[in-house]
Amino acid sequence: MTSTTGAVCPHCGWPDAEPFQVVSRHTTAAGRTVWARCGCGSLQVRVVDGCGTRVVSRSRPASL
């Protein structure tokens, strides 16, 4: 998955372009929604469409 922003996780610095674990994928009318987990455990909602991939929501890291 290629990020169009080149951004990294604000919690741990993991690159958004390299999700640690894909939790689920759902096809929508506009493209796809991908739920992914970062290396720190933060859950991310990504939108994949004709413009590329964007992280549109992100949780805090998972606590141990």
pLDDT at 6: 63
Q: Give the total number of structural domains in the chain.
A: 1
16-26 pLDDT, tens digit each: 888 889 999 99
pTM given for the model:
0.77
Range of the domain at 40: 1-64
Residues 6+ apart with CB under 8 A from 30: 47, 49
**Do residues 35 and 43 make contact, with C-beta atoms less than 8 angstroms apart?**
yes
33-58 pLDDT, tens digit each: 999 999 899 999 999 999 898 899 99
